A and B are shown apart, each in its own frame.
Chain A
Amino acid sequence: RKEVEQDPGPFNVPEGATVAFNCTYSNSASQSFFWYRQDCRKEPKLLMSVYSSGNEDGRFTAQLNRASQYISLLIRDSKLSDSATYLCVVKGGSYIPTFGRGTSLIVHP
């Protein structure tokens, strides 16, 4: 089993839709969790950290489920500019970040 798994997609949604991605991790000792956004041929950029209590930033909501070992990202009211690849990042006890393969999102008019 891979350490961090994501559905590669693509998720193809219309503008205004709500879309959710999940990411599962295998190391129960994982300490920190993040969602990054990567545009085509660019470097990843931090979208949001994921806190145990869940957190929201505008249209984006991130949640952590330690019992089932997954994190989620919910995007409401999708915009064309949300089209990108969303990378799940997990840091274990050694604090070395491990990336998922990424989930591709395409928002169409």
Chain B
Amino acid sequence: DGGITQSPKYLFRKEGQNVTLSCEQNLNHDAMYWYRQDPGQGLRLIYYSQIVNDFQKGDIAEGYSVSREKKESFPLTVTSAQKNPTAFYLCASSKRAGGQKNTGELFFGEGSRLTVL
């Protein structure tokens, strides 16, 4: 079945450590996104990529890094520079927007819950 796979589902990190969250999709989607969600809050965009080997900062990119070497994969690294990394991280993908009525709904992975000890 086609979909998006995020791993790990739960992750604990000590302060000062970098961690990388995996996101893989087999939907043949061009665009991929990383969002962060804090309790009781909406989703905030960290980074997005609309094509391989290109990505752009979102609203809260500081302390994070990404790569897009393959269409299927968009890993997110939470660096030690991120001051408050404990959150729920969601990866999503979509087709590139086109002229169709439905212009690129998002498909989400199940999320990765990161806790800093």
Given contacts A91-B97, A96-B48, A99-B42, contact A44 B104 (CB under 8 A): no
CB distance from A69 to the nearest CB of B (A): 18
Which residues 30-81 in A have Cβ within 8 Å of B in the complex? 31-32, 34, 36, 41-46, 49, 51
* Total A-B Cβ pairs within 8 A: 59
Contact A97 B33 (CB under 8 A): yes
Contact A49 B42 (CB under 8 A): no
Residue in contact with A32 in the complex, picked from B35, B58, B103, B110, CB distance below 8 Å: B103
- A31 to B, closest residue via Cβ: B103
Residues of B within 8 Å of A106, CB to CB, are: none
Residues of A within 8 Å of B96, CB to CB, are: 95
B43 at interface, CB cutoff 8 A: yes
Contact A97 B106 (CB under 8 A): yes
Encoded as 1 (CB less than 8 Å from any A CB) or 0, chain B from 81 to 102 comes to 0000000101000101100011
CB distance from B105 to the nearest CB of A (A): 5
Contact B104 A95 (CB under 8 A): yes
Contact B109 A32 (CB under 8 A): no
Residue in contact with B110 in the complex, picked from A43, A97, A98, CB distance below 8 Å: A43
Q: How far is A3 from B108 in the complex, measured between Cα atoms in Å? A: 22
Q: How far is A43 from B101 in the complex, measured between Cα atoms in Å? A: 24
CB distance from A102 to the nearest CB of B (A): 6
Some 5 contacts from A to B, beta carbons below 8 A apart, are A31-B97, A32-B97, A34-B105, A41-B88, A101-B42
Residues of B that sit less than 8 Å from A by CB: 31, 33, 35, 40-45, 48, 50, 58, 88, 90, 94, 96-97, 101-111, 113
Which 4 interchain pairs have the tightest Cβ spacing? A101-B42, A43-B108, A95-B97, A99-B43
